[in-house]
Structure 1
Amino acid sequence: MGRFADKVAIVTGGASGIGEATVRRLHSEGATVVICDIRGDAVDRLIAELGTDRAHGHLTDMMDLGAVEQMVTDLAARFGQLDILVNNAGMGSFGRVTDIDLAHWREVMTIDVDAVFMASRTAIPHLTRSSGTIVNVASIAGMLGDHSFAAYSAAKAAVINLTRSMAVDHAPRVRVNCVSPGLTATPLAVGLTGNAEIMAGYGECIMLGRAAAPAEVAAGIAFLASCDASYITGHNLVIDGGMTAHSGQPNFTRILAGKSHLDEAETAIRR
């Protein structure tokens, strides 16, 4: 039936974007999937579209850490097992540290980091019994600095290293990995992907020349959650179209078009 037959998975923020694509991928490969999201209408729509008794919903406010803990406890009891936790729920943020206030900083940290901690802490005893796995959704913003993404970058950097720490602490029974997507065409990113000027800027730095589809990120999440990744833990899988492969230096080939200019450039570099 698929790699996830007889497995129970929780996907937070599972009603849209990368979360929805992950729900669809895990479900298509046989998993019983619980879609945890704050938007009941979106959850109901997705369950109706999946159309099987292996798709379930749970309304969860990731700002309420007690509710996050109770959600994992209740679902593990309801299904009698838990095999996969995908910590996908998150929020973006734009602003320098001098632009954002403490309330906004705490909101970003609560949803993007604290909820990952709470869901993982509650799930790990159940995952230990099932030799299960956690996949966290981080971002390339957590690997490098970006203009005016102070809170978001800090939060996603925390997720990456929390992933490594949990992988070390809970091996060999529980595998813990994360993915770091680059620009992805989700509803939350429409302000970027729908802006021609911004996308022209991205065109200079994404080697594959486009945003990722949510399903492409979900494929990486499914891989890390599957038996195909049985010897992988503590890993950050970058899914960014080659964006972070580039050093950021100018494209000399484009700037110095023509053989003679390239020869001059090579000579200058060797000096």
Structure 2
Amino acid sequence: MAQIQVSTVSKTFSSASNAPRRVLDGVSFSIGEGEVVGLLGPSGCGKSTLLNIVAGLDEAHTGSVTVQGRPMREQLGAGFRVSYVFQESRLLPWYTLQQNLEFVLQAGEFPRSEWAGRIERVLSAVDLTGFRDFYPAQLSGGMQQRASIARAFCIDPDILLMDEPFSALDELTARKLRQSLLDLWEKFRTTIVFVSHNAFESTFLADRILVMGHGKITHEIDLSGSPRPRCYDDTALFETSKRVIRTLEQHSVSPPSLQPHP
């Protein structure tokens, strides 16, 4: 059974002053346990909206999203854990880094006896052990994103959702964080679904890429044959990313925000 099953999901935005806009149009796909899947497409094609629906944050849609055969809300009520990493770190500014991690552990009802071990494990993985007493404003943008990844893995999530988490960073910092993400994935084998408009980033991270355009999945690219761990200097990976770009050019169309609902 697929861990995540998205079936004919459609979403339309309406307003009093404009015609309804269809942003998702009958989207269907499945994701297996432990897969890393990228949603790739131009800005405005519905990627983030789809991710919010998968997360259960947006229920105003048609079609269904199930996790291990049950709606996400039911799974969350049964102790299933989902983490979400946004474009910004969204750390609580009045808490130190350690307190931010303690906050999610408390919300997740983890025994206090586990907190120190969990925090040490994830901070070590993202090389932030020496910054646990720093406030977010004292950390660089890249360090804040590393902290948000640590926070996401702190609760041992069954699914990790990421919405362009590296798009605001310079390329050198983004490369380090992508590698940190894959290092953590190697340890936890968490199912990851991420949104990106960066073809090389998607190629580096994903087992599969779902190309989006006009509110639909227009093409699927299987990268499971690319060996891991992956290396930025691998010429084969670079050639693969060029094929992904060509596929994106061929199979992406105008953003759905420009298309009125008939």
Normalised TM-score (structure 2): 0.32
Structure (1 or 2) with the larger CA radius of gyration: 1
Report which of the two has the higher share of strand.
2
Higher relative contact order (CA 8 A, sep 6+): 2
More helix by share: 1
